[in-house]
């Protein structure tokens, strides 16, 4: 299963489980570490056994309601300044951004607003690889704002498909009023 599916699937099962054990099987170190981190964040007990090239991660949940729900901190805003995540490989950056948006859609803890500036505005326009995810988030109440100056600069304002055109004052206000800003 490709990243982030082992974590998302494990999280869904753990959220449904009042208490008991779940075993997640993964075939690489990154997935193993990510599932362990999830289990730890939900205050579950973790036991890992390697069998050949696979890791069997047994997660035991003792009490419903501990963990992630307690960590929610209120109003969050995501600030996206590029159509790719990170620096280095453009191809990898596009894959990571798509994976991030998918993970966000699967999350219950949604941001209030996602702000798009610079080349990030391409993600809100026609032919965006994450357009479906952004439309889903908008339908679930997430405010999507794209910088009007940026849309004009790239000559793509008429291609905007999700959210609204915004300005730097509003973008600043959204960031200043947030409890937490996640910058990509």
CB 77 within 8 A of CB 181: yes
pLDDT for 121-152, tens place per residue? 999 999 999 999 999 999 998 999 999 999 99
Query: What is the model's pLDDT at position 125?
Result: 98
Query: What is the model's pLDDT at position 69?
Result: 44
| pTM for the predicted model, two decimal places | 0.69
53 backbone φψ class: left, alpha, beta (φ>0; ψ -120 to 50): alpha
pLDDT for 48-86, tens place per residue? 999 999 999 999 988 654 444 444 446 899 999 999 999
Q: What is the mean pLDDT of residues 4-21?
A: 87
Question: In order of start, what are the domains of the chain with their CATH numbers?
Answer: 5-69 (3.30.110.40), 72-183 (3.40.1260.10)
CB 133 within 8 A of CB 97: no
Mean pLDDT, the chain, integer: 89
Q: H helices within 17-80, ranges in order?
A: 29-41, 68-71
Query: What is the model's pLDDT at position 171?
Result: 92
């Amino acid at each position: 299963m490709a990243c982030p599916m082992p974590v998302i699937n494990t999280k869904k099962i753990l959220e449904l489980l009042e208490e008991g054990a779940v075993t997640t099987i993964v075939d690489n170190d990154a997935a193993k570490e990510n599932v362990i981190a999830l289990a730890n964040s939900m205050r579950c007990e973790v036991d890992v056994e390697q069998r050949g090239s696979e890791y069997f991660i047994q997660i035991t949940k003792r009490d419903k309601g501990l963990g992630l729900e307690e960590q929610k901190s209120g109003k969050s805003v995501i600030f996206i300044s590029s159509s790719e995540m990170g620096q280095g490989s453009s191809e990898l950056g596009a894959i990571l951004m798509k994976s991030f948006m998918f993970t966000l859609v699967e999350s219950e803890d949604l941001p209030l607003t996602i702000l798009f500036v610079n080349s990030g505005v391409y993600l809100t326009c026609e032919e965006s690889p994450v357009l479906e995810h952004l439309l889903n988030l908008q339908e679930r109440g997430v405010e999507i704002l794209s910088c009007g100056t940026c849309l004009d600069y790239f000559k793509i304002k008429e291609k905007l498909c999700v959210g609204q055109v915004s300005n730097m004052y509003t973008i600043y206000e959204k960031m200043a009023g947030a409890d937490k800003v996640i910058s990509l």
